[in-house]
Structure 1
Amino acid sequence: MKELHSFGWYAAKLKPDLPKKAFNPVPERLWGGLAYLLVTVAALMTIGIVDVNPFFYIPLSLIIGACFAALGFLGHEILHGTVVRTPWLRDFLGAVAFWPLSTGPKLWRKWHNLTHHVHTQHEEHDPDAWPTLDRIMKIRLLRWVYRLPHPVRAFFSFCSLSFQFSVHSLNMFVVYLKEFNPKKRPAVFMEAILPWVTWIALLVWVGPVKWIFMFLIPLLIANLIVMAYISTNHRLNPTTEINDPLANSLTVTVPKWVDVLHFNFSYHTEHHLFPGVSSKYYPLVKQLIKERWPERYHEMRFDKALTALWLTPRPYYNKELVDPNNGNSFGTLGHGLDPDNIKSSISEKMYNTETLVSLMTEGKKQEHAKDQ
């Protein structure tokens, strides 16, 4: 196993090779956001005003959903301070960009910037890390879910990408609201509730049929696009005690025009090394990483990464991905996972039946104790 290094260790070695301008904000990125915003408003107004067969609204719904997702990618960049640095303007623009996904800027910076980025792929402290086998076996519903055959679970897991971001964002609001200073909680609450007030007002204005095409379908599409990226960011990588982006993050490759539309969101390892650098410079960061540590760096074609997610189970056990249903184990990136030849290690399981029974029994005991 390669020695792990912190993201700061890598960044310190690469920073001298980056141009000084790479560390300056790039407000020109806002022109792309303005274009998406104008297209979104135009499409929304067209559906709202023009009365035709709802079937003809579908293309506009697809366009709105794609714009919602792209605005989310820009909002992510804005709230890292790589577009503008003035705090009030950063939060205002971030709120506008995240408005379709109904995620407030203060919550996002707490959940994503200050927690996920600091504790990436730590099995206890990263709010976005997929749970371990031990945690799954302690939850009754998940024990039942993981009795289903893997293809069935994979199908429903991919379907759930269409609402996972919205559900997880709501959960993060519940988890982190109490951690904010009491004086700031009203602002955090308002940032979370105002977008939904907008969408409910839209429902009242246009009625349920048009609302489905103006917001619900686009929201599902945006979730699907955003989560297709997010699900590949780390879920094929192992959990790590040290936040080593070259071990716990994956960069996916997409056509250049997709990178342009999505603000280089595919460069995820690079982002975890330099979250304060505009994604405009991530191709250069990638080049520098591959020159120094090519054996550590993980990149994969986007469609291949999604296929690997489909073919592998999600619970972690040590550095493996395991299937509680049949006991099969799979490697993770850097620990035996070959995306071109994904195979389970039936003869070399990282845990046995006795371990699984023990975990399930312990989980049932804890639930029984809570019920008393």
Structure 2
Amino acid sequence: MKDLHTFAWYAARISPHLPKNVFKPVPSRLWGGLAYLLITVAGFITIGAFELSPFIYLGIAIVLGTSFAAMGFLGHEILHGTVVRTAWLRDLLGAIAFWPLTTGPKLWRKWHNLTHHVHTQHEENDPDAWPTFEKLAKSRFLRWVYKLPHSFRALASFVSLTVQFTLHSSRMFTLYIKEFNPKKRPTVWIEAILPWVTWIGLLFWFGPVKWFFAFLLPLLIANFIVMMYISTNHRLNPITEINDPLANSLTVTVPKWVDVLHFNFSYHTEHHLFPGMSSKYYPLVKEQIKRMWPERYHEMPLTQALKALWKTPRLYYNTAELIDPHRGNVYASLGHGLDPKEIKTIRKEVLPSKREIVKENSLIRDNKEGV
């Protein structure tokens, strides 16, 4: 895919073919959120009030974890302004929805809406983009990680999905807190602290065993569900200088009932084209994309995307390729030859030393600065 276009370029061509009402907020989505909130409260009351078998607690924890994740999906939609438009109500409802995932609405909108969506898959400006090979020389941790065999790294990566969202959210807080207006920083701090006050308070009320089933295990389950989607959103796609959603984003497919439970979160390319549109209408957007640019559109079953993630490394090489420095194996990315049904290396590279990488980066930087 050589010629790239911005998301606005695609949106301008799709919009005339969509009903006018798809650009209006859909408050009825809140009924689903209310159902998940009631399920969550009922789960807390059941665990807190009754002495039950650990297996029953485990079943409740699974239900709570799936509810936490679904509330996060709805919170994502709310904070894009597609459910309600009134700013204070949007942030309040978004805060409630994201409460189990301990992410404040102002941080989320700064990190996700204003940065990730604007700079998707830009190697420097997208806070969610994975590192390039050039960054390997600058990070002792990355160099250590990529000395490990790929199979071990893949296993560790999938296990870490249970904590990745929570850890990345904390990292985004430390990254962006100084960029907020000083007058707004106390609010951002309060939004970050209050959820943890709630959950730590629950620990003292329930005790460690019940707290494990009521919050910690559900949080791990919710992280895993959320990150199953997020990890497939862009990590098989290339790094792009132009924010082209058809090049740098992937839509995954799941059973219809899962889409209903998860508020159509699987439609990710569509979301990057129309982030201000309710995901309720993304199937209509998908129809238009596949009609106009079927050769550009990337979609695959979620299970297939996860298998592709397992088999490929997470380090970019020449923007459109992925590389495993442990053996020098190079893999294609989506749109550049990656076949998710038959993943294989396209070549081996003799990798430069750390000193050579640093020297090359210095020359590139000097050229960009006009030295």
Shorter-chain TM band: over 0.9
Shift of 1:344: 0.5
Give CA-to-partner distance per residue, 1:238-263, whole Å, 9 cap, x none.
00000000000000000000000000
Q: Distance in 2 between matches of 1:289 and 1:28?
A: 26
Q: Secondary structure at the match of 2:27?
A: coil
Corresponding residue of 1:110:
110
Corresponding residue of 1:89:
89
Q: Distance in 2 between matches of 1:42 and 1:223?
A: 21
Q: Secondary structure at the match of 1:321?
A: strand
Corresponding residue of 2:356:
358
Alignment of 1:226-241 (within 5 A): 226-241=226-241
Runs of 4+ in 1 over 2 A off after TM superposition: 52-56, 352-363
State the TM-score, normalizing by the size of structure 1: 0.95
Q: Distance in 2 between matches of 1:145 and 1:298?
A: 30
Corresponding residue of 2:368:
none
Corresponding residue of 2:365:
none
Do the aligned residues in 1 keep the contact of 2:250 with 2:298 (CA within 8 Å)?
yes
Corresponding residue of 1:331:
332
Give CA-to-partner distance per residue, 1:33-52, whole Å, 9 cap, x none.
00000001001110011012
Corresponding residue of 2:161:
161
Letter in 1 for 2:176: Y
Shift of 1:173: 0.4
- For this pair of structures, how many residues does the alignment match? 360
Identity within the alignment, %: 70
Give CA-to-partner distance per residue, 1:100-129, whole Å, 9 cap, x none.
000000000000000000000000000000
Corresponding residue of 1:205:
205
Q: Distance in 2 between matches of 1:244 and 1:116?
A: 13
Q: Distance in 2 between matches of 1:256 and 1:356?
A: 48
Give CA-to-partner distance per residue, 1:145-176, whole Å, 9 cap, x none.
11111000000000000000000000000000
Q: Secondary structure at the match of 2:3?
A: coil
Do the aligned residues in 2 keep the contact of 1:138 with 1:362 (CA within 8 Å)?
no
Give CA-to-partner distance per residue, 1:50-86, whole Å, 9 cap, x none.
0123332000000000000000000000000000000
Q: Secondary structure at the match of 2:340?
A: coil
Corresponding residue of 2:369:
none
Q: Distance in 2 between matches of 1:16 and 1:44?
A: 47
Letter in 2 for 1:189: W
Do the aligned residues in 2 keep the contact of 1:6 with 1:243 (CA within 8 Å)?
yes
Structure 2: state its 5+ residue gaps: 362-371
Corresponding residue of 1:279:
279
Do the aligned residues in 2 keep the contact of 1:138 with 1:359 (CA within 8 Å)?
no
Shift of 1:357: 6.4
State the TM-score, normalizing by the size of structure 2: 0.95
Do the aligned residues in 1 keep the contact of 2:325 with 2:351 (CA within 8 Å)?
no
Q: Secondary structure at the match of 2:344?
A: coil
Alignment of 1:123-272 (within 5 A): 123-272=123-272
Letter in 2 for 1:158: F
RMSD of aligned alpha carbons: 1.3
Corresponding residue of 2:364:
none
Do the aligned residues in 2 keep the contact of 1:54 with 1:210 (CA within 8 Å)?
no
Q: Secondary structure at the match of 1:28?
A: helix
Shift of 1:139: 1.0
Q: Distance in 2 between matches of 1:248 and 1:264?
A: 19
Corresponding residue of 1:62:
62
Do the aligned residues in 2 keep the contact of 1:33 with 1:71 (CA within 8 Å)?
yes
Corresponding residue of 2:367:
none
